[in-house]
Structure 1
Amino acid sequence: MAINPIQPGLQGQSLASDTKGVDALRYSASKDPKAAIKETAKQFEGLFMQQLMKSMRQATLSSGMLENSGTQMGTELLDTQLAQSLSGRPGGLSEMIAKHLERQLGEPLANMAKDAASAQTVAATGQTGTAPLPAALQGKERQVGFLKLHDSAAKAAEAETGIPATFMVAQAAHESGWGRHEIRNADGSSSFNLFGIKAGKDWTGPTTTVTTTEVVNGQPHKVQARFRAYASYEESFKDYAKLMKDNPRYSKVVAAGNSAQGFAHGLQRAGYATDPEYAKKLTNMINTTLRLQRATA
């Protein structure tokens, strides 16, 4: 009887004492810290329940009949499975542990992000490990962390397209709400799709289907749409750069050069988004990004 370790996207299949389960939990934490906290809390509760049942059995008088190493092992495995099945229920110990951990981690948890391609994580506290943010940027920790996280990928995309890195990282911020509203896969993990690029008929890579808002005849409508999914944020920037460079629809966007307004209006004219206010919103986001970059330079 084997206890399977946690696989990426699958929770609750092993206790923290399982080495493979720990490795998989670390992987899960890098992609979705909040979900990993809940899973860790559940495993703590499972270990507690298992130890509790062990103590209860030791305190119970045994006749010694029909007992051997085989029955003892079976009992221990049964206790392990029972502990797992009893853990993670609403209102239980794991829920209390998870809430406590979330309070302890606070904003750094909410701001944590990961670029899987470079295997680097950034807790978006606005600090690089050397000096805190200046007073003028207090309260902008998430935004500063987002810009730092995607700086190198945006510059690589600039080298490919000629579009300023600031414009592209600003668009990623607009589309994802500074990372708060990333498109997620069915298992809750990030699709790393920062630009809201949909999966058309020619797309052969991974996809995820989510509910999104489209403006039709001036009215917003909720629709189900398929979006591209990537293995990393860097891959998302690379695909965006390829789209801008190779798709004839966006040739004028690339040609807009260093004009923020020209870039934003070019995207809207090319049909990048259905929101009639898209160009205005993106221009404002580019200006905000420029101010943040100047303040942190």
Structure 2
Amino acid sequence: MNTQNDLSGKLALDVQGMGALRQSAKAGSPEALKSAATQFEAMFVNMMMKSMRDATPQDGMLDSQQSKMFTTMLDQQTSQSIAKKGIGLADVLIRQLSQQAANTQALAIGNEGAATDGATPAAPAASSRFDPALLQRAIAAAGGAGAAGASTSGTSATDAASDAAKGSTAPHVRNFQAKLGAHAEEASRATGIPAKFMLGQAALESGWGKREIKGRDGSNSHNLFGIKAGPDWKGKVAEAVTTEYVNGKAQTRVERFRAYDSYGDSFKDYAKLLASNPRYEKVLASAGDASSFAHGLQRAGYATDPHYARKLTNIIKHSLVG
């Protein structure tokens, strides 16, 4: 039996069914997301069938405008049936759109702060729901393309699907990766650590660049990884308030951190630290898996936050693209 939002067994032009789907989208439900993705898949299949029909001669004795109309309706319903079984496109769309919720959660986790960054701000509440506005855009495109009938090529639906996939990644994540991606790639070639892992750690330590360590004069230290300035450090230094965990209890301290002339220098020094310090040898050996990498860093004492590995793993797996 069809549920209220299941359009797979209904005619593609069913206005009532599409209206129910729009209503569900207002609540941002996962069921509405699945239904909308299935509609996109149906339109894609219908577009292929239309192209095949256009390539077939249709001037026989039994061909007429009426037969073409009913053939079009049959193709649309056939597309719905094929999409119900699935050819994979709906699954891809669901994964892309589902990152919206994961990004929100990762942002909240990142905003909790790492053990070596500045004072920890209050984290926003994480949301497990999908963005209703994004669903409304997807469903509107699905409804518009379905109502257009045989004259619709499906191009607008394809473009809408592409826009929805791009929109699933939060703007601050895209900007962060675009800004620092090249530096991460260079450090990756030097250490063998995936660039995505390093970007995830930089995001966690700096709060996606919003809580970078500043000097007393307000100058940027470009220290994205919260690396402290020990006795052997001969470069510039920036002092900042940080949260350390002693016996599981958070304590606020003022620490000295390394300062660099650029973000590129920060990535280079981070790569040098991991490659030259024996305690990170096992971390480099486990760089093929995000969870192993994150837990290896925590075991090696990179940070005192007892939840550091979990936070880093979530950001790498659920927030970053690539």
Give distance in 2, aligned partners of 1:212 and 1:134: 40
Matching of residues 92-111 of structure 1 within 5 Å: none
**Structure 1 counterpart of 2:180, which letter?**
H
Give distance in 2, aligned partners of 1:158 and 1:181: 24
**Offset at residue 249 of structure 1 (A):** 1.0
**Structure 2 counterpart of 1:276, which letter?**
P
Question: Quick check: 1:134 aligned with 2:180?
Answer: no
What SS is found at the alignment partner of 1:134? Answer: helix
From 188, 200, 205, the equivalent of 1:170 is: 200
- Tell me which residue corresponds to 2:216: 186
Question: Is the Cα contact below 8 Å between 2:224 and 2:263 reproduced in 1?
Answer: yes
Question: Quick check: 1:257 aligned with 2:290?
Answer: no
Question: Is the Cα contact below 8 Å between 2:169 and 2:319 reproduced in 1?
Answer: no
Give distance in 1, aligned partners of 2:168 and 2:315: 18
Matching of residues 98-247 of structure 1 within 5 Å: 134-136=163-165, 137=167, 140-247=170-277
Give distance in 2, aligned partners of 1:263 and 1:134: 33
**Structure 1 counterpart of 2:275, which letter?**
K
Q: When the two structures are aligned, how many residues end up with a matched partner?
A: 162
**Offset at residue 135 of structure 1 (A):** 3.3
Give distance in 2, aligned partners of 1:249 and 1:149: 30
From 297, 310, 318, the equivalent of 1:267 is: 297
TM-score normalized by the length of structure 2: 0.48
What SS is found at the alignment partner of 1:221? Answer: strand
- Tell me which residue corresponds to 1:10: none
- Tell me which residue corresponds to 1:283: 313
**Structure 1 counterpart of 2:163, which letter?**
P
**Gap change, CA 1:263 and 1:210, over 3 Å in 2:** same
Question: Is the Cα contact below 8 Å between 2:213 and 2:240 reproduced in 1?
Answer: yes
Percent identity over the alignment? 55
**Offset at residue 185 of structure 1 (A):** 1.1
Question: Is the Cα contact below 8 Å between 2:212 and 2:223 reproduced in 1?
Answer: yes
**Structure 1 counterpart of 2:197, which letter?**
F
List gaps (5 residues or longer) in structure 1: 1-132
Give distance in 1, aligned partners of 2:251 and 2:189: 37
1:117-143: per-residue Cα shift (whole Å, max 9, x none)?
xxxxxxxxxxxxxxxx93342671111
Give distance in 2, aligned partners of 1:225 and 1:134: 44
List gaps (5 residues or longer) in structure 2: 1-161
Runs of 4+ in 1 over 6 A off after TM superposition: none
Q: RCO greater where, 1 or 2, for CA within 8 Å and sep 6 or more?
A: 2
**Offset at residue 288 of structure 1 (A):** 2.4
Question: Is the Cα contact below 8 Å between 1:166 and 1:289 reproduced in 2?
Answer: no
1:73-107: per-residue Cα shift (whole Å, max 9, x none)?
xxxxxxxxxxxxxxxxxxxxxxxxxxxxxxxxxxx
**Structure 2 counterpart of 1:255, which letter?**
A
**Gap change, CA 1:220 and 1:199, over 3 Å in 2:** same
1:209-265: per-residue Cα shift (whole Å, max 9, x none)?
111000111110000100000000000000000001001111111110311011000
Give distance in 2, aligned partners of 1:282 and 1:176: 12
**Structure 2 counterpart of 1:239, which letter?**
D
**Offset at residue 167 of structure 1 (A):** 0.3
Question: Is the Cα contact below 8 Å between 2:221 and 2:259 reproduced in 1?
Answer: yes
